[in-house]
Amino acid sequence: MYDDFNEILKLLEQYPGLPGAIGMEKAMMFVRLATRLKDEILLKQKLGHDPSKPPDVLPPNVRDFLGHAVQIPDEFVEGCWHAFGRTVWQRDVNGDSVGADAKLFKLYGLQNLLSTRTLFPPTRQCTNPDCTKQESLLRRKDEPRRIVLFTLGEGACPTYSVHLHCHGCNTNYHHDYSVKNDVRTYYKGVPDVIEVGDHQFAEREVLNLFAGLMLVSWTSATNGARVYNTCLSQPHNNTENWFSSDLRTEHVWDGFCLLSLLEDHARHESVLTVPHSGLQKNRLTEAMKARNVRIQQAGQEEYAHACKKCVRVWPPEDGKPAQKCSVLVIDGITIGHPCCGILHCAIALANNRHRYCPVHDAHHHVCCVEGCSDPVATSAEGDPPRMTCKEPDHSALEKRHKQRAEPTAEEVEESGIEGDTPCPGKPETGNRRIRALFGRRRTHNEQIMVRPCGIVVARQTFFGSETTPQTVDMIHTVFHVEHSMPNIIFYDNNCGLYRHLVAAGDDLYKTVGLPVDVFHWQCKHTSGKFKTYLTRLSLLNDILSTNKLTKPAIVA
């Protein structure tokens, strides 16, 4: 036999010192690497060589590589080839591949609770500092749990997840978190595999793929799941009597949010804790709220960004200290998302299909016509719930809404409807149209603060409208750190911003320049007392000149 140990040992002993220079690890490495180089070895042989037999001598480049890789002298490479050459030549180049092992485990391992991708906790001993049995090995509490692991290279793999139990402090250790007193505590850092469902796990590379698709091509979570199921899942991995290998939309969202939170905590060297019980979709809610509050208060990661495009610095001159001028641009982006139907209410909806938040849930049973507080009429059996009261004009408006919505329901549903029916209760001077909101109200805009170079400093959701008081409050909230306030702020309503600051007694206008664009200046402020206060761009020399600094302030 070409792989008989006795025969191999005889061949090795022909080279003095070789049997004692290599062990199992180096021998296996030599065979594995040489197997992958069979085509390269054969390429350097004479034309008459029989490709079914190993050559007597290795090419110089292959011999040099194997010697360095296995860390054995050149003469020992020749001896190893003499002893293992026939073994190498009979082996399949993919014999040591992960795929080949996976096939064997699929055929014979799963039935014995074994898999190449079984997930274990990262520790074998309890890490609770208050535990009295930290030195003892953790024990498996239950049988391995059947799961599906979504990978980038091998598709959706049926495998197992093992969790261990500490009998000293009753802490359960899972692959990416531990559980004690119904609190799930994730381990420090970001794991390579993350639990995205009760029986579903995903590699970090897969979740990064979904994040990239969302950021680069605006791919939805639903389409991200479809991309994976269509192109990457490798259905031949499926096995009978296992969980479905289909990746669902909620898995994408849960994985995306969890990965984002874990990366955020890793950057801040903290640990993520969430409730262990309850629905998966609600488990991360409080953690995400806490992160959003921190981002709003402390700003984005580039909160203190400064570069030559957004900050101008003048060196000391004539005994005066160095001076700087930083610029900020504020604007709103119309990206509305469903919110509570009560104007300016910032409480999140319990479900995106709802029209009102939990606090204002009773309004679901109130007529949706503006100004009407009567309860909705009772609908006929089998019909969808009514949204208007018994008032004939209001009922007619709802009927017309349904007729308009039939061909393009999705298009009409989210908007308010304005009826043409005159309201009989109005004065003789004129009637107003009846207005109703049959769909969900949407937020007004996302207000962003950005540096001239394009770096986003902060973002905040504005509900109902983009008001000046909200903008002022956002400015003070974001730049609450001393000396962080920009010297000049560009905003499309700086005139209104200035008037509000003066009326409110806010001295911000005394230290921050508020330029007004030329069109606004010429068309809207040809007269009036505020014209003398508004700043012309030509007077803000610190953003036009590179030589001289003039104090950025409102020109009075």
Question: How many angstroms from the chain centroid is the CA of residue 98?
Answer: 29
Q: Does the pLDDT value for residue 186 go beyond 90?
A: yes
For every residue of 171-208, which 3-state class applies, written as one string? EEECCCEEEECCEEEECCCCCCEEEEECCEEEEHHHHH
What pLDDT score does 541 carry?
A: 63
Place 262 in a pLDDT band, splitting at 50, 70 and 90: very high
Residues 87 and 174 in one domain: no
Q: Does the pLDDT value for residue 187 go beyond 50?
A: yes
What pLDDT score does 406 carry?
A: 64
Per-residue burial over 100-136, b = 16 or more CB atoms within 10 Å of its CB, e = otherwise: eebeebbeebbeeeebbbbbbbeeeebebeebeeeee
- 245 lies in a domain? yes
Angstrom distances, CA of residue 523 to CA of 73, 245, 520, 527: 86, 63, 5, 10
Domain that holds residue 287: 117-298
- 425 lies in a domain? no
Distance (Å, whole) CA 303 – CA 251? 32
Residues 284 and 361 in one domain: no
Residues 362 and 380 in one domain: yes
- 29 lies in a domain? yes
- 423 lies in a domain? no
Task: Count CB-CB contacts under 10 A for residue 473.
Answer: 12
Structural domain ending residue among the three candidates 67, 96, 116: 116
Rank 109-118, 288-297, 460-469 by mean pLDDT and report only the highest.
460-469
Mean pLDDT of the region 187-205: 94
Given a contact cutoff of 8 angstroms between Cβ atoms, the answer to whether 513 and 325 are in contact is no
Domains identified in the chain, total number: 4
Residues 150 and 278 in one domain: yes
Burial-class residue 193 by CB neighbours within 10 Å (0-12, 13-18, 19+): buried
H/E segment holding residue 444: none
- 306 lies in a domain? no
Residues 63 and 90 in one domain: yes
Q: What is the pLDDT of residues 366-387, one digit of tens each?
A: 999 988 999 999 888 878 889 9
H/E segment holding residue 509: helix 508-511
Q: What is the pLDDT of residues 35-59, one digit of tens each?
A: 888 888 888 888 888 888 899 899 9
Place 548 in a pLDDT band, splitting at 50, 70 and 90: very low
- 415 lies in a domain? no
Q: What is the pLDDT of residues 198-229, one digit of tens each?
A: 899 999 999 999 999 999 999 999 999 999 99
- 399 lies in a domain? yes
Given a contact cutoff of 8 angstroms between Cβ atoms, the answer to whether 176 and 158 are in contact is no
What pLDDT score does 409 carry?
A: 42
Q: What is the pLDDT of residues 426-464, one digit of tens each?
A: 555 555 678 888 889 999 999 999 999 999 998 889 998
Residues 179 and 276 in one domain: yes
HSE-CB of 139 using CA atoms within 13 angstroms: 9
Q: What are the φ and ψ backbone dihedral angles of 137, each rounded to 5 degrees?
A: -75, 140
Distance (Å, whole) CA 214 – CA 255? 13
Range 235-243, long-range pairs (CB < 8 A, 24+ positions): 235/155, 237/102, 237/106, 237/154, 237/155, 237/156, 237/157, 237/158, 238/156, 238/158, 239/106, 239/110, 239/158, 242/146, 242/148, 242/158, 243/146, 243/147, 243/148, 243/158, 243/199, 243/200
- 2 lies in a domain? yes
Residues 111 and 232 in one domain: no
Residues 198 and 271 in one domain: yes
Mean pLDDT of the region 507-529: 71
Residues 317 and 343 in one domain: no
Residues 370 and 283 in one domain: no
Structural domain ending residue among the three candidates 298, 319, 347: 298
Q: Does the pLDDT value for residue 344 go beyond 70?
A: yes
The candidate with the shortest Cα–Cα distance to 258, out of 340, 194, 352, is: 194
Kindly state the greatest CA–CA separation across the chain.
117
What pLDDT score does 302 carry?
A: 83
Mean pLDDT of the region 347-362: 91
Residues 142 and 189 in one domain: yes
Instruction: Output the pTM of the full model.
Output: 0.71
Residues 111 and 121 in one domain: no
Structural domain ending residue among the three candidates 420, 441, 462: 441
